[in-house]
């Protein structure tokens, strides 16, 4: 982004306090549950984490098991480790994502292989996956960008044809549906959700791994807490002598606390209502911005559901300002925006480690140069949205 500050145009007026790009929606139920948790004396992984897992698995459906962790990054790491990804392996994914999607591959000594995105959805282009497969490929890792499901049917067909596993990054995608099925209940090996502060539901920090395969779920449970074969909750509440445990692998410290789970229990119960509100905001943005020099985000096809974690517009090349100038002007009007994402293939580590060039993934590069995420969160009022729309129009209307 340019470092200079553009002057406001005559039509641009700074009104009101800073309007954030995102904000959590925490109610009295969450507060009361956290207080009850603190008073209970059990604040680390315990009965509330277990309840959150059970209710989350029931919400996703399809007979999945759920494993609560302290971040989606941790969940992706655990899922790939459970599938045996290791040094020399390759995992196919997209460069149009946050670095966590790829960094967990490197944690295990494997290599990411990037495939460009579809220019409309900004999800991985399934038609380009097969040509990226090599004898070293072990997993395909699609990302459901902004809350819109990737095209999973062809991805799963390709995986089956080549004997590959599939882990989907659903950090943006609760409650996303693909052809009527909840993301997380599809025929993938594992799905990972995020409950970061800006996500569709939050635990502050946190994530969830879901899988139909009990072997994968069991391995994730063991590895999330130092490779110990029994959950700490079970060890300390068992009626039997419980001080004995076995370390069966060199695991990690990825468990979710009961304090976080206390928030998540009530956030999950609001997930459908939150999605309704996000979709209503997205449709209002569509109505108000459709005549501007922007590309509006795609909606889910019939029978599917968009979670609307993000509302990403793309500034057209013939707009009166560049993308960077647009963000500067929105900031000058006290409105927060963001960019999702700076593609991994132009980030120094990934670029230099794998000798990547900007033009290798042209759709990801073009999307990045045009994309702006507008404020979208469930606490956003109609007046807030009207203010955002007025600012966008004052900057982009010809």
Handedness of CA 77, 116, 178, 206 (dihedral sign): positive
Confidence label for 9 from pLDDT (cuts 50, 70 and 90): low
**pTM: predicted TM-score of the whole model, two decimal places:** 0.95
Whether residue 169 has pLDDT greater than 70: yes
Confidence label for 16 from pLDDT (cuts 50, 70 and 90): confident
Q: Which residues pair with 204 in a beta bridge?
A: 196
Question: What average pLDDT does the chain have?
Answer: 95
pLDDT score for 4? 42
Long-range contacts at 285-291 (CB < 8 A, ≥ 24 apart):
285/311, 285/313, 285/374, 285/376, 285/385, 285/389, 288/389, 288/393, 289/313, 289/389, 289/392, 289/393
d(CA 205, CA 72): 9
pLDDT score for 5? 47
Whether residue 10 has pLDDT greater than 70: no
Whether residue 76 has pLDDT greater than 80: yes
The alpha carbon torsion through 317, 20, 171, 195 (nearest 10 deg) reads 180
SS3 labels along 151-184: CHHHHHHHHHHHCCEEEEEECCCCCCEECCEECC
Tokens of 296: 């509006």
Task: Give me the percent of the chain exceeding a pLDDT of 90.
Answer: 91
DSSP, res 130 = G
Tokens of 282: 């997205």
DSSP, res 135 = T
User: Looking at 50, 128, 138, 199, which residue is catalytic?
Assistant: 199
Average pLDDT over residues 90-117: 98
Domains annotated on the chain, with CATH: 28-269 (3.40.640.10), 271-396 (3.90.1150.10)
Give tens-digit pLDDT for 203-219.
999 999 999 999 999 99
pLDDT score for 340? 98
Contact 242, 346 (CB under 8 A): no
pLDDT score for 245? 86
Can you tell me whether residue 32 is helix, strand or coil? helix
pLDDT score for 3? 38
Clarify whether 199 is annotated catalytic: yes
pLDDT score for 230? 77
Backbone angles phi, psi at 113, to 5 degrees: -120, 120
Q: Which residues pair with 190 in a beta bridge?
A: 167
Confidence label for 241 from pLDDT (cuts 50, 70 and 90): low
Whether residue 373 has pLDDT greater than 90: yes
Confidence label for 240 from pLDDT (cuts 50, 70 and 90): low
Contact 236, 228 (CB under 8 A): no
Confidence label for 120 from pLDDT (cuts 50, 70 and 90): very high
Whether residue 153 has pLDDT greater than 80: yes
Give tens-digit pLDDT for 19-66.
999 999 999 999 999 999 999 999 999 999 999 999 999 999 999 999
Closest CA to 142 of 113, 167, 178, 176: 167
pLDDT score for 236? 65
Closest CA to 152 of 178, 132, 191: 178
Average pLDDT over residues 66-73: 98
DSSP, res 221 = H
Give tens-digit pLDDT for 252-266.
999 999 999 999 999
Whether residue 7 has pLDDT greater than 60: no
pLDDT score for 2? 39
Give tens-digit pLDDT for 273-328.
999 999 999 999 999 999 999 999 999 999 999 999 999 999 999 999 999 999 99
Closest CA to 64 of 203, 253, 192, 169: 192
How wide is the angle at C-alpha 276 spanned by C-alphas 273 and 282, nearest 5°?
145
DSSP, res 346 = G
Cα 82 vs. chain centroid, distance in angstroms? Answer: 20
DSSP, res 338 = B
pLDDT score for 15? 63
pLDDT score for 385? 98
């Amino acid at each position: 982004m340019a470092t200079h500050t553009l002057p406001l145009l005559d039509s641009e007026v700074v009104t009101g306090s800073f309007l954030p790009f995102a904000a959590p929606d925490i109610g009295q139920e969450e507060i009361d549950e956290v207080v009850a948790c603190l008073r209970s004396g059990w604040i680390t992984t315990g009965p509330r984490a277990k309840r959150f897992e059970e209710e989350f698995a029931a919400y996703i459906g399809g007979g999945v098991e759920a494993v609560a962790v302290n971040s989606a990054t941790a969940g992706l790491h655990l899922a790939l480790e459970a599938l045996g990804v290791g040094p020399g392996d390759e995992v196919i994914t997209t460069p149009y994502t946050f670095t966590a999607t790829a960094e967990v591959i490197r944690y295990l000594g494997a290599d990411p292989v990037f495939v460009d995105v579809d220019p409309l959805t900004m999800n991985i282009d399934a038609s380009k996956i097969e040509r990226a497969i090599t004898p070293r490929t072990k997993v395909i890792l699609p990302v459901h960008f902004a809350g819109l499901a990737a095209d999973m049917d062809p991805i799963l067909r390709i995986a089956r044809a080549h004997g590959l596993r599939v882990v989907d990054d659903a950090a943006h995608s609760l409650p996303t549906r693909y052809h009527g099925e909840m993301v997380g209940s599809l025929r993938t090996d594992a799905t990972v959700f995020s409950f970061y502060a800006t996500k569709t539901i939050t635990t502050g920090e946190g994530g969830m791994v879901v899988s139909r395969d009990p072997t994968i779920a069991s391995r994730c449970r063991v590895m999330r807490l130092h490779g110990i074969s029994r959950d700490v909750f079970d060890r300390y509440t068992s009626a039997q002598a419980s001080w004995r445990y076995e370390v069966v692998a060199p695991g990690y410290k990825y468990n979710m606390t009961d304090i976080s789970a206390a928030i998540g229990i009530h956030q999950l119960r609001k997930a459908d209502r939150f999605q309704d509100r996000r979709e209503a905001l997205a449709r209002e943005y569509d109505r108000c911005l459709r005549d501007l020099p922007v590309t509006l985000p795609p909606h889910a096809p019939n029978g599917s559901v968009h979670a609307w974690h993000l509302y990403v517009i793309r500034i057209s090349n013939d707009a009166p300002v560049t993308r960077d100038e647009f963000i500067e002007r929105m900031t000058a009007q006290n409105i927060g925006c963001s960019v999702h994402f700076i593609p991994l293939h132009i980030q120094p580590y990934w670029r230099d480690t794998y000798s990547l060039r900007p033009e290798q993934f042209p759709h990801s590069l073009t999307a990045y140069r045009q994309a702006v995420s507008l404020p979208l969160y469930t606490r956003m009022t109609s007046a807030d949205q009207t203010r955002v729309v007025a600012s966008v129009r004052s900057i982009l209307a010809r």
